[in-house]
């Protein structure tokens, strides 16, 4: 595949602007850049001529920490990478460790992990929709209405997580071989009650956003990513599927309970900000369907296939290397781990995390040129980046 080319290429050497080009730093203090991301914009008036993204303002060295911490100690660390979807962060890293160590996860634990992943997808997409409305700002009457509505429903999902783990965030509920906490009595009824409320209100969200004329004008045809460019840059998740590529690891490389509960993959073809919004809104509906099927079919049995952890160095891997990828709300979250050998068997020798948000950020130099400055916020927000996993 040839190297991807910008869709709005503007050659600086021959560009004839209306005046002198101006260099503007968009971020890192700007609210829409999450306070930790900078884009160097070269502007011709209000038109972006060139865009250079600069991550690195939130770097915490998680991959380096993994060389000093043991397999059992890393769960709470990766919770903070994609801090909007910590459940899937835990699942990704422990699935890699379990594959490296040859640990079998009981069926009930696999179903619980899949249930949590789908509930987390709903919560994550709700937060994205609310903050995206804020990014568009005055176009939606300030955007605060959608934001507050989405946060209201997201709190209901966090109530479900708190019921199981005792925490509303950074749950540390996944462990080697399964889960730490079993589902409490009456949990199925609470899940159904929560999903009934959210499902009924998703129609309202769609009317407030995708069928809103101002929202449509701000997103339709803006930030278009072709399928060729998306594949060339390694984009995954809703960003890839909004460009017409029908790919989802839950269906194409099933893990957890996805081999028993089929997934309907949502796609769009236009590849613009509106398409990415539609994919995420429809994915919430699909995740609600999956969560209902999972809680209704939850099997009985143990929730962990490994011995209870008594010491940090309990699990050791002398040799081997594995890669495991899962479908998070933002795309493929991959974990590549190399065993520590005889001397450091309780800790990885190397750990590499493939975050979907990092790949999503790589598309900005290709799609921002040719757009207005006001479109920069919409395009960036439509990618749903989480800087914790970009800089990890």
In a domain? residue 338: yes
pLDDT of 9 reads 53
pLDDT for position 21 = 84
**For the residues 282-303, what does the mean pLDDT come to?**
95
CATH number at residue 264: 1.10.645.10
pLDDT score, position 28:
80
Residue 210 lies in a domain: yes
Q: What average pLDDT score do residues 352-381 get?
A: 92
Q: Which of 310, 337, 333, 309 is nearest to 323 (CA)?
A: 337
Instruction: Quote the CA–CA distance of 95 and 82 in Å, as a whole number.
Output: 17
**Contact 123/86 with Cβ under 8 angstroms?**
no
In a domain, 72, yes or no: yes
**Which pLDDT value is given to residue 15?**
58
Give the model's pLDDT for residue 4: 44
Residue 264: inside a domain: yes
pLDDT value of position 5: 43
How far is Cα 113 from Cα 337, in angstroms, rounded to an integer?
A: 21
Q: What percent of the chain has pLDDT over 70?
A: 92
For the chain, the domain total comes to 1
Joined tokens for residue 192 = 């159904």
Which helix H or strand E contains 49, and what residues bound it?
strand 47-54
Domain of residue 358, residue span: 62-391
pLDDT in tens, 117-146: 999 999 999 999 988 888 887 555 556 788
Give the CA-trace dihedral at 229, 80, 61, 386, to 10 degrees: 20
* Residue 87: other Cβ atoms inside 10 A: 27
Q: For the chain, first and last CA: distance in Å? A: 29
In a domain, 12, yes or no: no
* 352 within domain boundaries: yes
Q: Give per-residue pLDDT as tens, 226-253.
A: 999 999 999 999 999 999 999 999 999 9
Position 333 scores a pLDDT of 95
Distances (CA, A) of 333 to 95, 167, 236, 328, 378: 11, 23, 9, 6, 24
> Is 47 in contact with 366 (CB distance < 8 Å)?
no
pLDDT of residue 10: 59
Q: Are 41 and 22 in contact (CB under 8 A)?
A: no
Global pTM? 0.92
Q: Does residue 313 lie in a domain region?
A: yes
Residue 3 in this model has a pLDDT that exceeds 50? no
Distance CA 225, CA 230 (A): 6
**Can you give the pLDDT at residue 303?**
94
Does residue 7 carry a pLDDT above 60? no
């Amino acid at each position: 595949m040839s190297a991807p080319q910008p869709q709005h290429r503007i050659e600086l050497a021959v560009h004839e602007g209306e005046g002198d080009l101006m260099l503007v730093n968009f971020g890192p203090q700007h609210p829409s850049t999450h306070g930790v991301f900078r884009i160097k914009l070269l502007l011709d008036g209000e038109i972006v001529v060139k865009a250079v993204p600069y991550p690195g303002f939130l770097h915490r060295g998680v991959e380096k920490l993994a060389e000093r911490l043991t397999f059992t100690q890393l769960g709470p660390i990766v919770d903070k990478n994609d801090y909007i979807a910590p459940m899937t962060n835990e699942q990704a890293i422990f699935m890699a460790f379990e594959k490296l160590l040859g640990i079998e996860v009981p069926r009930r634990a696999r179903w619980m992990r899949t249930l949590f992943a789908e509930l987390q997808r709903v919560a994550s997409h709700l937060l994205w929709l609310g903050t995206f409305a804020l990014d568009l700002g005055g176009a939606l009457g300030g955007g605060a209405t959608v934001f507050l509505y989405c946060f209201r429903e997201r709190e209901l999902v966090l109530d479900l997580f708190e019921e199981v783990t005792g925490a509303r965030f950074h749950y540390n509920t996944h462990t080697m071989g399964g889960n730490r906490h079993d589902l409490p009595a009456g949990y199925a009824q609470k899940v159904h009650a929560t999903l009934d409320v959210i499902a009924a209100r998703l129609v309202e969200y769609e009317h407030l956003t995708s069928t809103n004329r101002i929202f449509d004008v701000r997103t339709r045809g803006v930030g278009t990513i072709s399928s060729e460019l998306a594949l060339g840059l390694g984009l995954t998740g809703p960003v890839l599927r909004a460009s017409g590529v029908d790919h989802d690891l839950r269906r194409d490389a099933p893990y957890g309970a996805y081999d028993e509960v089929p997934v309907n993959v949502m796609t769009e073809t236009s590849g613009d900000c509106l398409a990415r919004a539609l994919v995420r809104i429809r994915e919430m509906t699909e995740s609600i369907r999956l969560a209902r099927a999972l809680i209704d079919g939850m099997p009985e049995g143990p929730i962990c296939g490994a011995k209870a952890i008594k010491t940090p160095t309990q699990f050791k891997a002398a040799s081997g290397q594995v890669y495991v990828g899962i479908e998070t709300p933002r795309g493929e979250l991959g974990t590549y781990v190399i065993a520590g050998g005889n001397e450091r068997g309780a800790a990885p020798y190397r750990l590499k995390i493939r975050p979907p948000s990092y790949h999503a950020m790589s598309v900005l130099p290709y799609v921002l040129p040719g757009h207005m400055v006001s479109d920069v916020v919409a395009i960036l927000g439509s990618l749903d980046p989480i800087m914790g996993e970009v800089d990890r």
